[in-house]
Structure 1
């Protein structure tokens, strides 16, 4: 089965899980870290089991990546899945969350689906086949001047383990705030990058290693025509310490402002 041919089944799996999550009674917000883990696991475990039922028959024997923050992405074919991308928002009763399903081959995304049950929208992309939202092709913003742009940024989970990323994030935010129209963090990293690919957001940047959230979204951005690099201007790849997605007209302008040495 080709990468593009997988997308309808991947999208149906995401929609099925999204409907289940949307109808689930939200637990009360956690009061401690151990409480948060219990609340998270109570949703994540059955959600993952439901998604396994749909994905495992598509490519029998293909494993799911686990704990990408703690180890390099392995070679070969695997699923990179987040059943609650934006779990903090979901568990707080906020609408900014989605389901993320990406097929990776040799550390590069080849097919991806993001689905937001709240918006009833799905972003899809397959390598060499473009990027779409609800079946319609998408393209990044055509803005020319930073002063009229809406930028977005976020940070990897548990950024305390990457202190250099937190420092760089603060520095870049101080640099960009006086020069752009606005900067926001609008929820899941993957969805914000997809919205950048579709021109709803003009550019997205982030510091820190965050393969789980960036692999599929990078495919969507590139297939839509956005430029994707790290903050030093090198091609973004799994394990890169920073990320920038922007239209061609804005990419170099932003890179000059946030550039960090390799």
Structure 2
């Protein structure tokens, strides 16, 4: 698929810019809160990605984080506006912007391509480790050209899970998510919160995490990573078990073996976001 090479080239070129600026990023704009930071490099990276996609696929549409106003309402409206397009790119130039600002090297470029609202390829690139995760629908998932699969843990007690905390605490989601963490923490090996939903999903696909859940995320946070998980043999749904589609905001992605148990634990304390 020629679009896969486009996504790879765009991710690597944007990643090069991000890596170049990582040690010197100083200028910060603030969107909706002090925890939702948008930097000059974030905007530059999306411009690089847009230029590459547009030059090779001029008839395709692009939904990028930096072109959308802050907040869940604006994100939902932007997605609905773009859904109708047959060829849609869904782009997050830096997933984990707060980490980037603080010099915490857990952030990535996330690019997905959807045809008639179905994600058919995903690329996630960590510029600090030079790890390139790729997936094509029906063709598997890869890390730097080596095939990857989800982990084999069969019980919660063996599992390493990850979660996250929504920026700006929309609708009290941080407390709701904390309730889920407190419920699951005694049942699992441990829980991590690295600050990049896309990279967490890539780690589930690569077998580094057993599962990941988070509430109130956007299409550009999830599209590439959800496909990676599914193509690596895992399961990606919303937090109450509904099938993944590009409008999902409350995500649960696992190796498939502990999916129901995590889902039930979240439901038991009202931590699904629904």
Normalising by the smaller structure, the TM-score range is: 0.7 to 0.9
State yes or no: 1:218 paired with 2:216.
Answer: no
State yes or no: 1:191 paired with 2:236.
Answer: no
Q: Which residue is 1:53 aligned to?
A: 51
Contact 2:112 2:119 in 1 (8 A): yes
Out of 19, 23, 26, the residue aligned to residue 24 of structure 2 is 26
Q: Which residue is 1:100 aligned to?
A: 110
Structure 1 gaps, min length 5: none
Contact 1:230 1:241 in 2 (8 A): yes
Q: CA deviation at 1:261?
A: 9.0
For 1:125, what is the secondary structure of its paired residue?
A: strand
Which deviates more from structure 2 when the two are superposed, residues 210-219 or residues 50-59?
Answer: 50-59
Contact 1:130 1:137 in 2 (8 A): yes
* Superposition TM-score, scaled by structure 1 size: 0.88
Q: Which residue is 1:145 aligned to?
A: 155
1:69-84 matches, within 5 Å, as 69-71=75-77, 72-73=79-80, 74-76=83-85, 77-84=87-94
The count of aligned residue pairs is 256
Q: CA deviation at 1:240?
A: 2.8
Structure 2 gaps, min length 5: 69-73
Q: Which residue is 2:2 aligned to?
A: 5
Q: CA deviation at 1:30?
A: 5.1
Q: Which residue is 2:126 aligned to?
A: 116
For 1:248, what is the secondary structure of its paired residue?
A: coil
Distance 1:8-1:256 versus aligned 2 partners, 3 A rule: same
The 4+ residue runs of structure 1 with deviation greater than 6 A are 31-37
Q: CA deviation at 1:219?
A: 0.8
Which deviates more from structure 2 when the two are superposed, residues 56-65 or residues 138-147?
Answer: 56-65
Out of 62, 65, 72, the residue aligned to residue 64 of structure 1 is 62
Distance 1:136-1:238 versus aligned 2 partners, 3 A rule: same
Q: Which residue is 2:42 aligned to?
A: 44
* Superposition TM-score, scaled by structure 2 size: 0.84
Distance 1:191-1:32 versus aligned 2 partners, 3 A rule: closer
Alpha-carbon separation, structure 2, partners of 1:116 and 1:220: 14
State yes or no: 1:232 paired with 2:230.
Answer: no
Q: Which residue is 2:14 aligned to?
A: 17
Cα-Cα RMSD = 2.5
Q: Which residue is 1:256 aligned to?
A: 264
